[in-house]
Amino acid sequence: MPFQAFALLMLLPALIACSTTGDVMTAYGKTDDSHQQPLLLALHDWSPALGTIATRPVQVTTDNPATILNPAQAQAFALQHSPAIRSILASQGIADADYRQATLINNPGFSASALRAEGSWKTEFGISLGILDWLTLPMRKRLAGAELEAARTGALTALTRELGAVRSRYFAVVAARHASRQQQQTAEAARLNAELARQLNQAGNLSELEQLRYEDELARQQLAAQQAITDADIRLAELELALGLPFNSELVVPDALPDTDADLLTPAALRAILQNADTFAALLTTAMQQRPEVTMMRNTRESLERRLDLQQKQFGMSELGLGLVTEREPDGSTASGLELDLSLPLFDRGQHRVSSIQSRLVQLTADEQALQLAIAHQLSRNLNNLLNLSQQVRQLRDQDIPRQQRMLELVLQEYNFMLSGPFELISVKQQETETVMRYVSLLERYWAEHADFMQHSANTADTFVAGLVPTSDPSALSPDSSSPHSPAPHSLDSESSNHQEHHHD
């Protein structure tokens, strides 16, 4: 009995020491916003880029959303308030708990039995502990850590995707508002033409047939204008959802897309990246270092390698146990001793597991190469599209729209000299607004592509392109587009050239 007591006493501290007494219930699982901060701060450790976003000062609050929003603030706001993003963060709590669980050794087994033989009881007690658990604990901790890292990477991937979506939705709603404003202008031009036609018809100067043609055009434009308003509202609602705001939150966004030289990447910079192999390689390297799915693959590789190492160190043994057994014989005597429990690696020596891990490593290598190729193509496609769109946007902004405006001036001069009529004059104005709408559509595609590019290159700061272009004019590169939109030197819409923001009604 003294030996038994001694043995148990010796085991207990060890068992306790091996147990995890820390608080596994971290803030991850809590839903209170006040517990979100540790998560956001933790983001710094996981991803400095995301952490930077998370800690950006946000002027917009759920109590006061009526503040001018920009894409960076939208992302920060989403990180801090979006339930969907909170859910992703909370999943990290689960992963963390799993990790902590995985780093514990299995509880020791305790067995007790009482056997009656020949009128007397024979009792037997035993405590057993898996020795393999003990032996492989450091390795298992590393494995669990790798799995935690993989889970974290998965969460980062999801977060990046969500934030990319927030950015895309932000530009989508601004574009829709911009387009809607122009569509209202087009409809107004059609209304003026129709009203003029009505007055001329009433005065007996225009046939009903001609008048109805103008009415018809007005109806068409009004439908388009109504659709544009609805589109803008829907897109705003989608942004509200992404931000975690309720519908009709009175969220305020600009009503014109950024379009100054300071806002847009220059064709020269984009061409420099595309045509310079070293620059493109640097971009690709950055992406490969930062892209969550690449990180995930890297972690998976480490995990598999550790798993392989673990398999090889288990020598094919899948079970190995050490136990302390005490038996009390019917005659009252007791017998104590150690018990070793193991599975003999005669048939299953873990070859299939080793083989499986090795195959997965080969597969992973191929997947990594495929991913790198895919990312290079994504970036190339993004850059080509951005180059094309940047050129088109500039052409419309600097040439086509000013040309239309000049045409309007000239037609007004002809109208003044009774060389052109009012219908023609107003129609030219309508053409100008339609050109501006094409411009807005191109701008929207530009910013959508830009958001894709940001996501594919795994960058959150708009200025990173500047660092890629070796000798370019810094002023030609895009600064942080999160700065509020300043109007272009020329006003694209004379009625609202100051790009005032409007409440979402």
For the chain, the 3-state helix, strand and coil shares in percent, each to the nearest 5, are 65, 10, 25
For residues 481 and 263, the answer to whether their CB atoms sit within 8 Å is yes
Environment class of 22 (CB within 10 Å of its CB; exposed 0-12, middle 13-18, buried 19+): exposed
Q: Tell me 488's DSSP state.
A: P
Neighbours of 117 (CB within 10 A): 9
Residue from 274, 414, 427, 482 in contact with other proteins (CB under 8 A): 414
| Site for other proteins contains 398 (CB under 8 A) | no
Other C-beta atoms lying within 10 Å of the C-beta of residue 233? 18
Helix ranges, 244-291 (H): 267-275, 277-290
Task: By CB under 8 A, name the one of 192, 375, 393, 488 that touches other proteins.
Answer: 192
Closer residue to other proteins, CB minimum distance, 82 or 405: 405
- What's the closest the beta carbon of residue 221 comes to other proteins, in angstroms? 13
DSSP H helix total and E strand total for the chain = 14, 6
419 lies in the site for other proteins, by CB under 8 A: yes
Smallest distance from the beta carbon of 430 to other proteins, in angstroms?
Answer: 9
495 forms part of the interface with other proteins (CB under 8 A): yes
Residue 195 or 302: the one with the smaller Cβ distance to other proteins is 195
Cβ distance to other proteins smaller for residue 243 or 428:
428
Residues within window 197-216 making contact with other proteins, judged by CB under 8 A: 199-200, 202-206
**Which 8-state DSSP code applies to residue 493?**
-
Q: Do the Cβ atoms of 80 and 40 come closer than 8 Å?
A: yes
Q: Is 497 in the site for other proteins (CB under 8 A)?
A: no
Burial class (CB in 10 A: 0-12, 13-18, 19+), 387: buried
Site size for other proteins (CB under 8 A): 32
- If one asks whether residue 422 binds other proteins (CB under 8 A), the answer comes out as yes
Asked if residue 423 binds other proteins (CB under 8 A), the reply is yes
Scan residues 30-49 and list those touching other proteins (CB under 8 A): none
The verdict on 294 binding other proteins (CB under 8 A) reads no
Our CB check for other proteins shows the closer of 221 and 326 to be: 221
φ, ψ (nearest 5 deg) of residue 120: -130, 160
Q: Does 408 bind other proteins (CB under 8 A)?
A: yes
Least distance in angstroms from the C-beta of 500 to other proteins: 17
* C-alpha to C-alpha distances, 230 to 176, 223, 227, 236, nearest whole angstrom: 9, 11, 5, 10
Q: Which stretch binds other proteins (CB under 8 A): 15-23, 185-193, 224-232, 333-341?
A: 185-193
Nearest to 275 by CA among 470, 78, 117, 74: 470
Nearer to other proteins, 4 or 420 (CB): 420
CA-CA distance, 410 to 269, in Å (whole number)?
A: 36
Interface with other proteins (CB under 8 A), residue from 70, 153, 168, 185: 185
Distance in Å, CB of 407 to other proteins, minimum: 11
Q: Is 416 in the site for other proteins (CB under 8 A)?
A: yes
Tell me the closest approach of the beta carbon of residue 399 to other proteins, in angstroms: 20
Task: Single out the residue of 226, 260, 420, 483 in contact with other proteins (rule: CB under 8 A).
Answer: 420
Q: Which stretch binds other proteins (CB under 8 A): 156-164, 175-183, 330-338, 415-423?
A: 415-423
Structure token digits, residue 220? 């068409």
Q: What region does 472 belong to: left with phi over 0, alpha with psi -120 to 50, or beta?
A: beta
Pick between residue 9 and residue 418 the one whose CB is nearest to other proteins: 418
Q: Is 500 in the site for other proteins (CB under 8 A)?
A: no
Residue 490 per-residue DSSP state: S
Residue 483 corresponds to which tokens in the numbers above?
A: 């700065």
Q: State the helix-helix crossing angle for 351-395 and 277-290, rounded to 10 degrees.
A: 130
494 part of the interface to other proteins, by CB under 8 A? yes
Kind of pairing between the strands at 320-328 and 334-342: antiparallel
Between 313 and 403, CB nearer to other proteins: 403
367 binds other proteins (CB under 8 A): no
Structure tokens at 171: 């530009």
Do strands 252-253 and 502-503 pair parallel, antiparallel, or not at all (unpaired)? antiparallel
For Cα atoms 199, 203, 209, give the angle at the middle one, nearest 5 degrees.
Answer: 70
Which range binds other proteins by CB under 8 A, 68-76, 193-201, 226-234, 288-296?
A: 193-201
The helix/strand/coil state of 325 is strand
Give the residue with the Cβ less far from other proteins, 306 or 429: 429
C-beta of 222: minimal distance to other proteins in Å?
16
Min. distance of Cβ 237 from other proteins in angstroms?
Answer: 31
Of 52-60, 79-87, 194-202, 240-248, the segment contacting other proteins by CB under 8 A is: 194-202
Which of 347, 341, 348 lies closest to 319, judged by CA?
Answer: 341
Tokens of 26: 């971290």
Nearer to other proteins, 176 or 187 (CB): 187
Nearer Cβ to other proteins, position 129 or 426? Answer: 426
425 lines the binding site for other proteins (CB under 8 A): yes
Q: How many CB atoms lie within 10 A of CB 410?
A: 12
Pick from 19, 351, 410, 484 the residue near other proteins by CB under 8 A. Answer: 410
CB 457 within 8 A of CB 282: no
- Is 189 a binding residue for other proteins by CB under 8 A? The answer is yes
Q: Rule CB under 8 A: which residues touch other proteins?
A: 185, 188-189, 192, 195-196, 199-200, 202-206, 408, 410, 412-423, 425-426, 429, 494-495
